[in-house]
Amino acid sequence: MAVPELSTPIPGLAPVESLTWTIPGLREDPTLCLRCRSAQLLCGKPVCPILLKYRAFERTLPMVSGTTLDGSTPPGVFVGRFGYPKVALGPLLSPIHGSTELLDTPEQWVGRSVEEVVGFRTGLVRGTARYRVTDADRPDGLLERFQLLGLAVESVESEAEFRRPPRGHLALSESTPPFGPSAPLERVHLDVRKVDPDLDRLSSDVHANARVAVEELYDRGVRVSRIQRAFSVGALGRQGRRRLVPTRWSITAVDDLVSKQLLETVRELPELGEIVLYSLTALDNRWLIAFLPGTYRYESIETWYPNTVWNPSDRVVMMGDHEGFHGRTTYASIGGCYYAARLATAEALIRLRRQAGVVVLREVHPGEILPLGVWNVREHVRAALRQPPERVVSLDALLGRIRSEFAIPLDRWLRASSVLHDARTQRRLDAWLEPGS
């Protein structure tokens, strides 16, 4: 049987000529999606990820079929990483007028379905212009408008003209949420009327370095996603040192900086005296977060089932990283998810006014049909830790809960976990003390 060409239309859908896609696993079998056409779900997912994003694009592209677009930006700005140190950046534009803040506010996406989140993001059109990262320090008029947009506190009315009609590429990323079609900008008008006063003040402070600015903004209650946006467009930092930062890097940088700041306080707190457990199931991810008695240490382990988006193999893949009381000096192998969960757990320890050993266990099932970005980890771990905890009477009882909650056998988790291994094999000094001594 002849293999259909990649341009063959998907049955039941009008062809969208400017749409392409990439799906992990096609390298092993490039005919997989062509043989399936969503009818058999050969990838093992409950919904076809191509069709999901195709339909979202199908709603957006007719609204931007030409080279002009007017509507509202959430506000949103995206900075790419390809070609670094010369990068493409620009606003994320919606063809909808009015309040579009939800489309770029991941703190409000917990409880939403994959289809909703993908719809939020693919409804945004990315306009691009190319700059060197050092241009952030002496921006021209256009870049200055992008930086002002990065400080905005509400949706911004916009008008854009592109050099060509926007085109979409269905690339998948675990770091950043998906977004819709894109095109180089010819011109753009952004009617920024209200900026976050804290962001504005720190942006105007040319003597505060980026780390200090990020920490102060967080302490003042500015949303992490807003800090990440301002950091990315080079609106923070000392004069002469400001840089454009690719969005995926800025997300992890802010998670890392804020969690390190919080952990300086956590390390001075009294030790937790019991085991507490938090759990959550969302978007076919299962989470267990355990706080153990003792000094601070942290570990995050992810287990990916076969046919999940990053694991096209036929076996379970488990990855994890950990750090001791003093933190780590190398980048975690599991990437931004490590730092996103560390931020969420550090926040919870601050609320408890205790330090503890932290274990974050995540089991990813095939229902996660698309990677949605690091926010998925940060906000769902935050959501789990806002729930009342379960008090666990002993380490054996905790291991029993891990055994019952997860499909992966307990011994796999124990082999992968440094913190649980230490808890099982090392005795604390107070265990040798007589009661009342």
- pLDDT at 34 (0 to 100): 44
Residue 38, in any domain of the structure: no
Sort residue 327 into left (φ over 0), alpha (ψ -120 to 50) or beta: left
- pLDDT at 60 (0 to 100): 55
Residue 397, in any domain of the structure: yes
Q: What DSSP line would sit under 71-87, residue for residue?
A: EEE-S-EEE--TTTTEE
Say which range, 45-49, 121-125, 153-157, has the weakest mean pLDDT.
Answer: 45-49
200 and 154 belong to one structural domain? yes
C-alpha distances in angstroms, 143 versus 176, 186, 187, 225, 267? 22, 13, 12, 20, 41
- pLDDT at 269 (0 to 100): 98
Q: What type of residue is 431?
A: A
151 and 239 belong to one structural domain? yes
* C-beta neighbour count of 412 within 10 angstroms: 14
Looking at the chain, the number of H-run helices and the number of E-run strands are 13, 14
Residue 316, in any domain of the structure: yes
* Mean pLDDT, rounded, for 142-171: 90
Say which range, 139-148, 161-170, 330-339, 350-359, has the weakest mean pLDDT.
Answer: 161-170
385 and 289 belong to one structural domain? yes
Q: What DSSP line would sit under 41-57, residue for residue?
A: -TT--SS-HHHHHHHHH
Cα(14)–Cα(317) distance, integer angstroms? 38
Cα Rg for the chain, rounded, in angstroms?
23
- pLDDT at 246 (0 to 100): 96
* Mean pLDDT, rounded, for 145-174: 86
358 and 327 belong to one structural domain? yes
pLDDT in tens, 195-207: 999 999 999 999 9
- pLDDT at 50 (0 to 100): 58
Sort residue 185 into left (φ over 0), alpha (ψ -120 to 50) or beta: beta
202 Cβ neighbours under 8 A, 6+ residues apart: 208, 213, 216, 217, 230, 236
Q: What are the structure tokens assigned to 418, written together?
A: 């440094």
Cα(183)–Cα(130) distance, integer angstroms? 12
* C-beta neighbour count of 228 within 10 angstroms: 24
- pLDDT at 130 (0 to 100): 97
Q: What are the structure tokens assigned to 430, written together?
A: 């107070």
188 and 219 belong to one structural domain? yes
Cα(413)–Cα(419) distance, integer angstroms? 11
pLDDT at 10 > cutoff 50: no
Position 373 confidence tier, pLDDT thresholds 50, 70, 90: confident
User: Higher pLDDT residue, 404 or 310?
Assistant: 404
Cα(286)–Cα(268) distance, integer angstroms? 31
Residue 167, in any domain of the structure: yes
- pLDDT at 5 (0 to 100): 28
pTM for the whole thing? Answer: 0.85
241 and 301 belong to one structural domain? no
pLDDT in tens, 60-86: 555 566 899 999 999 999 999 989 999
87 and 162 belong to one structural domain? yes
Residue 4, in any domain of the structure: no
345 and 375 belong to one structural domain? yes
116 and 232 belong to one structural domain? yes
Position 178 confidence tier, pLDDT thresholds 50, 70, 90: low
Indicate the average pLDDT of the chain: 85
Cα(222)–Cα(64) distance, integer angstroms? 33
Determine what percent of the chain is predicted with pLDDT higher than 90. 65
* Mean pLDDT, rounded, for 13-38: 45
Out of 255, 288, 318, pick the residue that ends a domain: 255
* Mean pLDDT, rounded, for 107-129: 87
| Alpha-carbon 266 to chain mean position | 24
Q: Which domain holds residue 211?
A: 63-255
Where is mean pLDDT largest: 82-96, 121-135, 345-359?
Answer: 345-359
Out of 255, 290, 322, pick the residue that ends a domain: 255
Bridge partners, 323 (sequence order): 298
- pLDDT at 83 (0 to 100): 93
Q: What are the structure tokens assigned to 334, written together?
A: 């599991």
Out of 255, 284, 304, pick the residue that ends a domain: 255
70 and 118 belong to one structural domain? yes
- pLDDT at 114 (0 to 100): 81
* Mean pLDDT, rounded, for 367-389: 90
Residue 11, in any domain of the structure: no
* Mean pLDDT, rounded, for 283-312: 88
322 and 412 belong to one structural domain? yes
Cα(79)–Cα(166) distance, integer angstroms? 17
* Mean pLDDT, rounded, for 277-281: 97
Residue 54, in any domain of the structure: no
Let me know: does 287 contact 384? Beta carbons within 8 Å.
yes
Residue 159, in any domain of the structure: yes
* C-beta neighbour count of 389 within 10 angstroms: 18
175 and 109 belong to one structural domain? yes
The number of distinct structural domains making up the chain is 2
